[in-house]
Amino acid sequence: MAWQKAAALSELSEGGVIGVHVGATPIALYQLDGVVYATHGICTHAMAILADGFVEDGKIECPLHQALFDIKSGKALSGPATEDLRTFAVKIDGDDVLIDLDVAAASEVTAAPAAPNAGTPASDTARPRGASNGGAASEMQDPAMSAPLSITKHYAWPAEGLSRIPDWVYTDQTIYEREVDKIFHGPTWNFVALECELPKSGDFVRSNVGPTPVVVSRANDGSIHVFENRCAHRAAEFCRELSGNVSEFVCPYHQWSYDLKGNLAGVPFCRGVAGKGGMPADFETAEHGPRRLKVASHRGVVFASYSDQVEPFADYLGPEVLREFEATFDGRPLKLLGHYRHTLPGNWKLYHENLRDPYHATLLHTFLVTFGLLVAGNKSLMLMDPKGRHGVMASAKSDGKSVTADAKKEMRAYKENMTLADPRMMTFFPEFDSPWSVTMSTIWPNLIIQREMNTLGIRHIVPNGPHEFIMKWTMFGFAGDDEEMTRHRLRQGNLMGPAGFLGIEDNEAIKFVQDGMQRVPDKEHLVMLDPAVAAGSSESLISEAAIRAMYQHWRAEMGL
């Protein structure tokens, strides 16, 4: 075969990679120090497109399992890839990049000096789905400037900064996998259970840290343990029940057993039968077992972390968010009222954003404004911790009749003649040491604490890929509640949940946003409201400063 055109030189940018096809062969083209290189476009380990990966120090990192290959030689440098990449000879003819599929790289030709400027938009093939044009790392005025250059160039944040969010933040598989690694498995405290769900030794619940399944159990000494729900033998998710009480966990596949602290306790036929078979003589059960996570419990709420470096829980929340946490979990023993769970067709971060977006509240929610839970002009606060990772949306309920005529005009959701068949639904019995009748605390990265008058709930976010998450709700009251108070909490609980009078509209709005990004892709969103507050707490409801603060933190954690 002869030379064939693969791309125009102007489509390449220094330090970048693009994916093209030459005939039916997928090719990855790179430019390093002005020289163009070509490799096969698919990772030798699994069917992943290398052009969606990251280029760094002359290596390409596969986006799927992070195998590394040397770009010039195609050599596989790290597992799980063991087979080298094919390379191809490259030559430059004017603006044409030509490759020869029959000849391995050895004859690269230096590119013409006219490489694109750092800020020049790459071609469509050079950009990931949804990546924005322009916005070189050096133009950004935020902490992400220290991120590795290859990543910031590949997933370029809009040059305008935090007032724009690109779609790829919500739709890209590589970004999602990086979130699992850097955020859910990083130095964060993840909600896993309430202690009242496992009051006795041997009690357990299945839970998740990010998408990763874990078991939360109470051992005989009363201590709480969190470990991965993955058998040390063949990786089976060995704990099958949602909750229960056991003396040990036994994997259904080959009956390996684990104690309540997650230690491997028994291996059937470990020594074989009649002196034959079995595990190697030096096999030690103590060296095998599910990965155990660090655990913190505060006022009956249990958190787990993959990181030994994570700060103490109280420092993680910071004093202001901790104060709101302790206003709800005020020391009274908790009483479990029930669970529900449902799947939402949207990116997991949209739920955090929804609760850092006070702007939508009076515009979307008929129930909220008509019955006076939140109207423009109510005493309210959108509090963020200084790092931008946790937030508390708080407001004080007003009498619905006090809504001014002007405010009603602004709020189409307000329905003048709507009344409740059972007005007890809206009764608020003050019981908390707090000026707020409603607080919605978003604790990064997977927890929402709902205190809406007297209905109390945990919302546990379990991401399932970029386009979907599971929401696990745990409704609770206090052990000292009488029957009437429990009935009241359950009645008021109709506000929330999969079909709650308030919750249903948020669930729908999240789907609409994800649909918009998937069906008209490769764009960005505006989060410009309230420019007087760059990012952080705002006293105005007409503000997106809390969402900007969240992305300031997300970008620092993600190195983007």
231 in contact with ligand FES (CB under 6 A): yes
| Token output for 524 | 């960005």
288 in contact with ligand FES (CB under 6 A): no
Give the interface segment with ligand FES, choosing from 83-91, 96-104, 166-174, 254-262 (CB under 6 A).
254-262
Q: Which of 72, 86, 91, 233 binds ligand FES (CB under 6 A)?
A: 233
452 in contact with Fe ion (CB under 5 A): no
Contact by Cβ (8 Å): 188, 445:
yes
Neighbouring C-alpha atoms within 13 Å toward the C-beta of 82: 0
357 in contact with Fe ion (CB under 5 A): no
- Any alpha helices (H) in 124-165, and if so which ranges? 149-154
Radius of gyration of the chain (CA): 27
Give the interface segment with Fe ion, choosing from 153-161, 232-240, 320-328, 499-507 (CB under 5 A).
499-507
Q: E strands of 464-507, at which residues?
A: 469-478
Which residue lies nearer to Fe ion by CB, 22 or 527?
527
Report angle CA 30, 31, 36 to the nearest 5 degrees: 85
Q: Which of 238, 371, 469, 501 binds ligand FES (CB under 6 A)?
A: 238
* Binding partner at 506 among ligand FES, Fe ion, none, C-beta below 5 to 8 Å by kind: Fe ion
Q: Which of 506, 530, 544, 557 binds Fe ion (CB under 5 A)?
A: 506
**Residue 254: CB minimum distance to ligand FES, A:** 3
- φ, ψ at 463 (rounded to 5°): -70, 150
Report angle CA 345, 350, 351 to the nearest 5 degrees: 90
**Residue 376: CB minimum distance to Fe ion, A:** 15
**Residue 268: CB minimum distance to ligand FES, A:** 8
Report the DSSP pairing between strands 87-93 and 96-100.
antiparallel
Dist. CA 145–CA 136, nearest whole Å: 10
* Binding partner at 353 among Fe ion, ligand FES, none, C-beta below 5 to 8 Å by kind: none
Which residue lies nearer to ligand FES by CB, 54 or 238?
238
Dihedral of CA atoms 69, 75, 79, 82 in degrees, nearest 10, equals: 140
DSSP code, position 292: B
Which residue lies nearer to ligand FES by CB, 234 or 487?
234
User: 493, 496, 385, 498: which is closest to 443 by C-alpha?
Assistant: 385
**Residue 256: CB minimum distance to ligand FES, A:** 4
Name the site residues for Fe ion (rule: CB under 5 A). Answer: 506
Name the site residues for ligand FES (rule: CB under 6 A). Answer: 231, 233-234, 236, 238, 251, 253-256
